[in-house]
Copies of this chain bind each other. A is one copy, B any other.
Amino acid sequence: MSTATQRPSTTLDTQAHCEALATNAQRSAGLLVNTDGSARNAALRAIARKLVERTTAIVADNARDLGAGRAAGLSDAMLDRLTLDEKRIAKMARSVEQIADQPDPVGQVIEGRTLPNGIRLQKLRVPIGVVLMIYESRPNVTSDAAALCIKSGNAVILRGGKEAMHSNAVIAECVRQGLEAAKLPGDAVQLVGTTDRAAVGMLLKMEGRIDLAIPRGGESLIRAVVEQSRIPVIKHYTGNCHVYVDADCDDEMAVEICLNAKTQRPGVCNAAETILFHKKAAERGLVYKVCEALDKKGVEIRADERVRTLFAKAKPATQEDWATEYLDLIVAIGEVPSVDAAIEHINKFGSKHTDAIVTSDIAAADAFVQRVDSANVFVNCSTRFSDGGEYGLGAEIGISTDKLHARGPMGAADLTTYKWVAHGSGQVRT
Query: Of residues 361 to 378 in A, which have CB atoms within 8 Å of B's CB atoms?
Result: 365, 369-371, 373-378
Give residues 228-276 of A contacting B (CB, 8 Å): 230, 232-234, 250, 253, 256-257, 259-261, 264
Known: A113-B392, A115-B392; 8 extra A-B contacts, CB below 8 A, are A115-B390, A253-B426, A377-B422, A380-B427, A381-B423, A390-B429, A405-B405, A407-B417
Chain B hits for A429, CB < 8 A:
260, 264, 382, 384-385, 390
> Contacting A129 at CB < 8 Å: which of B115, B373, B408, B422?
B373
Question: Which residues of chain B come closer than 8 Å to A375, judged between CB atoms?
Answer: 419-420
List 11 A-B residue pairs with CB atoms under 8 Å apart, sorted by A's residue number.
Answer: A34-B371, A115-B391, A119-B385, A232-B232, A250-B426, A253-B426, A261-B428, A376-B420, A381-B424, A381-B425, A405-B405
Interchain CA distance A385-B114 in the complex, whole Å: 13
CB within 8 Å for A381 and B426 given contacts A113-B392, A371-B33, A417-B403: yes
Q: Is A128 close to B, CB under 8 A?
A: yes
A320 close to B (CB within 8 Å): no
Which residues of B are found within 8 Å of A380, using beta-carbon distances? Answer: 423-427
Say whether, besides A226-B230, A404-B232, A377 and B427 are in contact (CB < 8 Å).
Answer: no
Q: Does A227 lie at the interface of the complex (its beta carbon under 8 Å from any beta carbon of B)?
A: yes
**A380–B423 CA distance with the chains assembled, in angstroms:** 6
Q: Are A423 and B379 in contact (CB under 8 A)?
A: yes
Contact of A422 among B259, B379, B420 (CB under 8 A): B379
- Among the listed B113, B250, B369, B404, which residue makes an inter-chain contact with A421, where contact means beta carbons less than 8 Å apart? B369
A418 within 8 Å of B (CB atoms): yes
Q: How far is the CB of A404 from chain B (nearest CB, A)?
A: 4
Closest residue on chain B to residue A208 by CB atoms: B352
Assuming the contacts A420-B408, A422-B379, asked whether A211 and B403 have C-beta atoms less than 8 A apart, the reply is yes
**Contact B232 A230, beta carbon cutoff 8 Å:** no
A250 to B425, CA, bound (A): 10
Nearest chain B CB to A220 CB, angstrom units: 14
- Residue A201 CB within 8 A of the other chain: no
A39 to chain B minimum Cβ distance, whole angstroms, is 14
Q: Type the 1/0 row for A97-131, where 1 means its CB is closer than 8 Å to any CB of B.
A: 00000000000000001010101010000001100
Chain B residues positioned under 8 Å from A391 (CB to CB): 115, 121, 420
**Neighbouring B residues of A378 by C-beta, 8 Å:** 421-424
- A427 near B382: Cβ-Cβ < 8 Å: yes
Say if the beta carbon of A37 comes within 8 Å of chain B.
no
Docked complex Cα distance between A422 and B404 (Å): 21
- A69 interface hit (Cβ, 8 Å): no
The answer on a CB contact under 8 Å between A418 and B426 is no
Q: How far is the CB of A14 from chain B (nearest CB, A)?
A: 22
